[in-house]
A and B are shown apart, each in its own frame.
Chain A
Amino acid sequence: MKIGVFICHCGSNIAGTVDCAAVAERASTYPDVVYATDIMYACAEPGQDAIIAAIKKHGLTGVVVASCTPRMHEPTFRKAVERAGVNRYMFEMANIREHVSWIGKDIEANTNKAAELVRMAAAKLRLDRELKPKSFPVTKRLLVIGGGVAGIQAALDAADAGLEVVMVEKQPTIGGKMAKLDKTFPTVDCSSCILGPRMVDVAQHPNITLYAYAELEEVSGYVGNFDVKIRKKATYVDWDKCTGCGLCTEKCPSKKSYDRFNEGVGPTTAIIIPFPQAIPKKASIEREYCRQFNKGKCGVCAKVCPTGAVNYEMQDETVEVKVGGIVAATGYDLVDWKVYSEYGGGRYPDVVTSLQYERMLSASGPTGGHVKRPSDGTEPVNVVFVQCVGSRDPSIGRPYCSGFCCMYTAKQAILTKDHIPGSQSYVFYMDIRSPGKGYDEFTRRVQEEYGARYVRGRVSMIYPKGGKLMVRGADTLMGTQVEVEADLVVLAVGAEASANSSALAEKLRISYDGYGFFMEGHPKLKPVETNTAGVFLAGSCQGLKDIPSSVAQGSAAAAKALGLLSRDMLDSDPQIASVSVNRCVGCRKCIEVCPFKAIQEVDMRGQPKAEVIETVCQGCGLCNATCPQGAIQLSHFTDNQILAEVEALCRF
């Protein structure tokens, strides 16, 4: 074997604290190394050309590059060696930047460590084998989880481009949080007017199959060929028969059900159509409020239904779908603001959440668009908005900024003035965060044109006084404690990852952060990909964002999915496990530890043996580490290769 070693300076990033020429010199003495040099920027075009030239000139059969992390440039160098006719797996990388030069200043020690790391890489390379990917066919169908604005955008873009799309929404209607909003910032255009047509498009698109009131039960398979189980929850109404006439919702005698869509602003019935523009516009029964289920008799909806669609015997149903890619767009939920006893903790009816306030402002909401105090139904004059309720608060484990509250609060203050011209809004804020296009101008307009009084400071307590609410807080710019007598208090409640997002992440085998937000592949360069091939992210499930950004990310996720599913065949990664049947004793330990269900038991002449399903294996190596016999080996990371590295390091 003829190994070439290239020590990258990375400008001064590495060369500043590592003697690269000395490392190259020492590398030239390692076994099988026939050529070693240092190079200014290995990843740049001249650097790659130098590697290719050296391969040709010296007839190299393997290459070691000592530079940055393989996460950064391993694909770059693999492509480079391939261009020179060397198999891409006959390449090893030693990380002498993140692991050496960036973390120590002692040049001698760094140079020694870098030389050792190169020795390890060269020792492993000597045992590398040429690997060739296999190709497999792709299922040209996309699953979109979540029917909010991000999911809708992703589904429509993908469907318009010709992909079959399956959308799963856990609520009885799509539309997500945006459907609950009255108006949108910074243009104050009607939310349902701009979202409604998109929702209708989803329902009518020939390429989109919508499963509303359904949840993702199980995902197996791999990129290009996922097997998905979807559980359609029982609605107790046959949606094939239901025409959405709404007669049942008028006649239902159980009129005190919690109205989830309207955030509990008003009561609703047990059989509901969430809102007039719901898609699908079909009725469903909320079992916990239904008299038929609770008392065993009622049956009013079944009696009045003109099409006989009501079916109390309905059961959950599971559908199985095969898809090639998945877009997760599961959105967010509101933080539980009731932990704040200083804001009343839910005791005062006239302290409402921002989302409840949206439903009050909305003409299709329970108050018909009239802002009223929940306590006595009167119109408020002084409205106090409290920002950062559950945002930027490490004490409740929510240290992050929710990102959109400043803007929707400004919008709500404008709408308050529009609805009640004689009203006065007060906004308690910590900072006004308005970095979007036209956003800062919007927050200025609400103060300068709509006369909202912005107070920089936190609210310390809200207490009732003679039918009103006293709001006490600070005005740090004035340097005093302040008080406002309010008729209505609106809490700009922050957002968090939607409930059960971590469970979904585990089903999809994607990572999530400490707050339950899904992890993107790279914070800058792979914002919609995940580290699991074929799974993409859109909207607030990846990190809180407003409508324009959610829509942009929805389109981006669709573009990425289309890029993947436009191919007929995909190459599999050959760095996967394989079983030596001679050594395998059929103990099943590997089957148990495999997180991808990629190993199955097969019968070989009456003996149980493990077998790797090549297309499912992700090459994580858990089986390799677990196997007591050393029978299952991960290509490119075999026990012998790891041991060779250890031996190179522990020579003395």
Chain B
Amino acid sequence: METVCLNRSDDAFVKAVEDESGQRVSRCYQCGNCTAGCPMSFTFDYSVSRIMRLIQAGQKEQVLSSGAVWLCAGCETCTQRCPNEINVAGVMDACRHIAGRERKFGARAVSAFFKAFMDSVRFNGRSHEVGTMALYMLYTGRVWTDVELAPKILPKGKMPLLPHRIAGRREVAEIISRFKQGLSDPDLVRAGLDAQGKSAKEAVS
């Protein structure tokens, strides 16, 4: 294992995580409550508390290339239990976003599934399971994943082969594309949020 040079803490990364999650990572005192309760921990390369520690030490590469940030299910058990009231799941989410922007996919199957799901929604305006599966197989090359479940589910009519498209699917696609634009430019998202807030306030008054 490589020796970590603590002077080379990537402070810009720490700030980015803190800004996007709205959390202060320095508040974490490493009690390990998040790791203790995490139901996904068995799949993680770094436990949640270690991810928190790596962020504190500004170890961007290790955090962003970890599988853990992708495998986090976002169940928020960690957030619920954090004695310092850090939204740990939010921190994981922020790391996932930053990793996505930097095209670092520590758990490729997970990011591929996200993409397959969103693409399906973009095409149809809502999710289409068979389509999502097909895209997932296409993106990952894992053709046989869970295929054995199909004979049980198909007769029950739970997996229609053709998608049910909704009327406003173009508008849904636009939301997604706006979001993607925002991802590449966080300032835009923030500006958009501010504008929304302003208009909401105006609406109230």
Residues of A in contact with B (beta carbons under 8 Å apart):
382, 426, 444, 447-448, 451, 453, 455-456, 472, 475, 477-485
What residues of A have a CB within 8 angstroms of the CB of B3 in the complex?
A: 472, 480-483
The answer, yes or no, to whether B24 is at the interface (CB within 8 Å) is yes
Residue of B nearest to A480 (CB): B4
- Asked whether, in the complex, the Cβ of B49 is within 8 Å of the Cβ of A477, the reply is yes
Q: Contact partner of A382 among B7, B29, B56, CB < 8 A? A: B7
Residue of A nearest to B27 (CB): A448
What residues of B have a CB within 8 angstroms of the CB of A475 in the complex?
A: 4, 6, 53, 57
Question: How far is B6's CA from A444's CA once the two chains are assembled, in angstroms?
Answer: 20
Q: Contact partner of A480 among B2, B24, B29, CB < 8 A? A: B2
What's the minimum C-beta distance from B149 to chain A, rounded to whole angstroms? 38
- Asked whether, in the complex, the Cβ of B26 is within 8 Å of the Cβ of A478, the reply is no
Residue pairs across A and B with Cβ atoms less than 8 A apart, 12 shown, are A451-B26, A453-B56, A455-B6, A475-B57, A477-B30, A478-B50, A478-B57, A480-B1, A482-B3, A482-B5, A483-B5, A485-B7
- By secondary structure, the A interface counts as strand
Question: How far is B41's CA from A565's CA once the two chains are assembled, in angstroms?
Answer: 66
Residue of B nearest to A449 (CB): B26
What residues of A have a CB within 8 angstroms of the CB of B4 in the complex?
A: 475, 478, 480-483
- Asked whether, in the complex, the Cβ of A484 is within 8 Å of the Cβ of B26, the reply is no
What residues of B have a CB within 8 angstroms of the CB of A455 in the complex?
A: 6, 57
Residue of A nearest to B47 (CB): A479
Tally of contact residues, B, Cβ under 8 A: 20
The answer, yes or no, to whether B132 is at the interface (CB within 8 Å) is no
Residue of B nearest to A382 (CB): B7
- Asked whether, in the complex, the Cβ of A485 is within 8 Å of the Cβ of B5, the reply is yes
What residues of B have a CB within 8 angstroms of the CB of A451 in the complex?
A: 26
What residues of A have a CB within 8 angstroms of the CB of B24 in the complex?
A: 448
What residues of A have a CB within 8 angstroms of the CB of B5 in the complex?
A: 482-485
- Asked whether, in the complex, the Cβ of B6 is within 8 Å of the Cβ of A483, the reply is yes
What's the minimum C-beta distance from A525 to chain B, rounded to whole angstroms? 35
What's the minimum C-beta distance from A422 to chain B, rounded to whole angstroms? 13
The answer, yes or no, to whether B59 is at the interface (CB within 8 Å) is yes
> Which 3 A-B pairs have CB atoms at the shortest separation, nearest pair first?
A477-B53, A481-B3, A484-B6
- Asked whether, in the complex, the Cβ of A453 is within 8 Å of the Cβ of B50, the reply is no
- Of the candidates A426, A448, A456, A481, the one having the most CB atoms from chain B within 10 angstroms of its own CB is A448
What residues of A have a CB within 8 angstroms of the CB of B82 in the complex?
A: none
What residues of A have a CB within 8 angstroms of the CB of B7 in the complex?
A: 382, 484-485
Residue of A nearest to B56 (CB): A453
What residues of A have a CB within 8 angstroms of the CB of B56 in the complex?
A: 453
- Of the candidates A472, A480, A484, A485, the one having the most CB atoms from chain B within 10 angstroms of its own CB is A480
What residues of B have a CB within 8 angstroms of the CB of A456 in the complex?
A: 30
Residue of B nearest to A447 (CB): B26
Residue of B nearest to A485 (CB): B7
Question: How far is B2's CA from A480's CA once the two chains are assembled, in angstroms?
Answer: 7
What residues of A have a CB within 8 angstroms of the CB of B137 in the complex?
A: none
What's the minimum C-beta distance from B160 to chain A, rounded to whole angstroms? 48
- Asked whether, in the complex, the Cβ of B6 is within 8 Å of the Cβ of A453, the reply is yes
Question: How far is B4's CA from A309's CA once the two chains are assembled, in angstroms?
Answer: 62
What residues of B have a CB within 8 angstroms of the CB of A484 in the complex?
A: 5-7
Give a binary string over B1-25; 1 marks a CB under 8 Å from any A CB, 0 the rest.
Answer: 1111111010000000000000010
- Asked whether, in the complex, the Cβ of B26 is within 8 Å of the Cβ of A479, the reply is no
What's the minimum C-beta distance from A272 to chain B, rounded to whole angstroms? 41
What residues of A have a CB within 8 angstroms of the CB of B59 in the complex?
A: 478
What residues of B have a CB within 8 angstroms of the CB of A478 in the complex?
A: 4, 50, 53-54, 57, 59
- 20 new A-B contacts at CB < 8 Å, known A426-B6, A478-B4, A483-B3: A448-B26, A448-B27, A451-B26, A453-B6, A456-B30, A472-B3, A475-B4, A475-B6, A475-B53, A475-B57, A477-B30, A478-B50, A478-B53, A478-B57, A479-B1, A479-B50, A481-B3, A482-B3, A482-B4, A484-B6
Question: How far is B50's CA from A455's CA once the two chains are assembled, in angstroms?
Answer: 13
Residue of A nearest to B7 (CB): A485
What residues of A have a CB within 8 angstroms of the CB of B29 in the complex?
A: 444
What residues of B have a CB within 8 angstroms of the CB of A382 in the complex?
A: 7
Question: How far is B203's CA from A311's CA once the two chains are assembled, in angstroms?
Answer: 91
Question: How far is B7's CA from A426's CA once the two chains are assembled, in angstroms?
Answer: 9
What residues of A have a CB within 8 angstroms of the CB of B57 in the complex?
A: 453, 455, 475, 478, 482
What residues of B have a CB within 8 angstroms of the CB of A447 in the complex?
A: 26
What residues of B have a CB within 8 angstroms of the CB of A482 in the complex?
A: 3-6, 57
Residue of A nearest to B57 (CB): A478
Question: How far is B54's CA from A453's CA once the two chains are assembled, in angstroms?
Answer: 12
Question: How far is B9's CA from A382's CA once the two chains are assembled, in angstroms?
Answer: 13
Question: How far is B7's CA from A483's CA once the two chains are assembled, in angstroms?
Answer: 8
- Of the candidates B7, B49, B50, the one having the most CB atoms from chain A within 10 angstroms of its own CB is B7
- Asked whether, in the complex, the Cβ of B50 is within 8 Å of the Cβ of A481, the reply is no
Residue of B nearest to A381 (CB): B7
With A448-B26, A451-B26, A453-B57 as contacts: A477 and B50 at CB distance below 8 Å: yes
Question: How far is B150's CA from A47's CA once the two chains are assembled, in angstroms?
Answer: 81
What residues of A have a CB within 8 angstroms of the CB of B53 in the complex?
A: 475, 477-478
Residue of B nearest to A384 (CB): B6
Residue of A nearest to B2 (CB): A480
- Asked whether, in the complex, the Cβ of B1 is within 8 Å of the Cβ of A481, the reply is yes
Question: How far is B188's CA from A571's CA once the two chains are assembled, in angstroms?
Answer: 88
- Asked whether, in the complex, the Cβ of A453 is within 8 Å of the Cβ of B9, the reply is yes
Residue of B nearest to A426 (CB): B6
